[in-house]
Structures are given as C-alpha cells and as structure tokens.
Amino acid sequence: MITQITASERHEARTGDWLRSNYLFSFADYYDPANVQFGPLRVFNDDYVSPDSGFPTHPHSEMEIVTIVLDGEITHTDNLGNDLVIGAGEVQRMTSGTGMTHSEANRSDKDVHLLQLWFLPNKRRLAPSYEHMKIDFTDTKDELVPLVTGQKVLEDVVFINSNSTIYYGNFSQGKDLDYQTYKIRKSLIYVLDGNLIVNGVELEQNDQIRLEDQEMISFHATSKASFILVDVPAVEANY
C-alpha cells in the first residue's frame, strides 16, 4: 500500500508568535483517529522556533524523543545535567523512560528549523538518558545517511530504544537510488526541499509518502532534493 499526503494536508499549528509547526500525526490540539501513529512512530513535527524563545521546561515519560536540527541552533537543558547548544547537522535523543524534564531555547537572532520525532520505546520503564551527536548530514550528497537507529547494525549514529531507523537524503537532480526494504517493515518519506519520485509517485516540498508491504523503494530526484526516510516495523506499538 502506498499513501501520498500533500503538504497542504499537514496540520498547521501556531503557538503565540514564537513557534510555527506542521504536524504529520495527531498531536496537541489536532486529533485524527485515522492518523495517530505509524508503527512505533507517534509524532513527527516540522518546527520553526523564533529568536529569543523556545519550549519551557516540561516533563516527558515513556517516549524516545529525537530532535534533528536542520538550520540554526537550539540550547538544550535537562534535569540529567545536560546543558548544550545543538546546531545544524546535529541530532539528539532523549529516552524519557520513567520521567525527565527538559527545555529547548533559541537564544540566537534567527529562526531555528528542526524536526521532532517521537517513538514508542520497545521497553517500558527505562532509565532516562540522553545522547547527542554531530553528524554533519547537511553536507552529504547522493546517499542515504543514517542518523538514528535501534537496529544495532549501523555505527556512528544516535541510538534509539526502538527497532527503527531515520535516514537523511540530499540528492542531486537526476539521482536514482534503490532502498531495499521488507514486507515486515514500512517506511515514511518526508520531502524537506525539492522534488522526488518515489515508487512512481511524484512528491513536492513538504509532501510525504507512507509505504507498506513493499520490497524495494526507488528514488528519483527530478530536482535537487532533501528528505527524511523513517524505517519502522510494520507492527503497531501500543503501550
């Protein structure tokens, strides 16, 4: 099964004058019973945070929270003792487990563009933990770069307590690439910029495509294009 969701079908949200978001799944005041999660992927938000603002200290539990910074920088602070600045090309993961608090602040003079992805963990009541890595994925070209994985088959990536992997792609115009998958897996592709054809479906900026029961995902960049690929198990996770 292949499902295309256009940019205009995302849920657009504004929080005051400091946060512009688009939700790919039910989140906060947006609820669609047919669009709650995709395997263990529960949240995928495309966020722009204004200067001198940010997410105040708030709690989480029983969730793997991934932040991918695409442009600008954000300051992360948590009750585990972490206090650091995360810039473009860097990735962080929080295992909220039995409970933790954190804040994310834009202390710069320009917008921060980041993605937040939340996964249901493969185990409950994990000890809270944090990981941050500079991957410089924005400088890569014509390959799928793994950013986060819990499959333990990739090195030099951020670990997640979920049988899932996040890749970043930055393709030149005309680039073709085949990604092998399995019918026990499913994939979500979100176009950050440019134009892609994925398994024959044309996608534009901020479109997404969700693929199930596939054995191969074929990419063709009809223009320079960047995108996120999320590979997850087909079984829905419910805790």
pLDDT in tens, 192-205: 999 999 999 999 99
Say if 238 falls within a structural domain: no
Let me know if residue 96 belongs to a domain. Answer: yes
**Residue 179, in any domain of the structure:** yes
The count of structural domains within the chain is 1
pLDDT of residue 237: 61
Which pLDDT does position 162 carry in this prediction?
Answer: 95
Model confidence at 223: pLDDT above 60:
yes
Question: What tokens does 124 get?
Answer: 């409950």
Give the pLDDT confidence score for residue 236 in this predicted structure. Answer: 66
User: In this predicted model, what pLDDT tens digit does every residue of 54-93 receive, in sequence order?
Assistant: 889 999 999 999 999 999 999 999 999 999 999 999 999 9
Q: Is residue 239 part of a domain?
A: no
Query: In this structure, what token pair is assigned to residue 225?
Result: 């294009």
Q: What residues contact 140, with CB distance under 8 A and at least 6 apart?
A: 168, 170
**Cα–Cα distance, 134 to 216 (Å, whole number):** 30
Does pTM top 0.85 for this prediction? yes
Single out the residue of 59, 107, 52, 56 nearest to residue 80, CA to CA: 59
Distance (Å) of CA 187 to CA 62, 72, 73, 205: 23, 28, 28, 18
Question: In terms of residue numbers, what domain contains 158?
Answer: 2-233
Give residue-wise pLDDT tens across range 102-117.
999 999 999 999 999 9
**106, burial (CB in 10 Å: exposed 0-12, middle 13-18, buried 19+):** buried
pLDDT tens digit sequence for 163-191:
999 999 999 999 999 999 999 999 999 99
Q: How far apart are CA 80 and CA 136, in angstroms?
A: 25
Cβ proximity of 63 and 121 under 8 Å: yes
Q: Is the pLDDT of residue 239 over 70?
A: no
Burial class of residue 185 (count of CB atoms within 10 Å of its CB; 0-12, 13-18, 19+): buried
CA atoms of 176 and 171, how far apart (whole Å): 8
CATH number of the domain where residue 49 is located? 2.60.120.10
Residue 153 has pLDDT above 90, yes or no: no
User: Could you tell me the maximum CA-CA distance found in the chain, to the nearest angstrom?
Assistant: 48
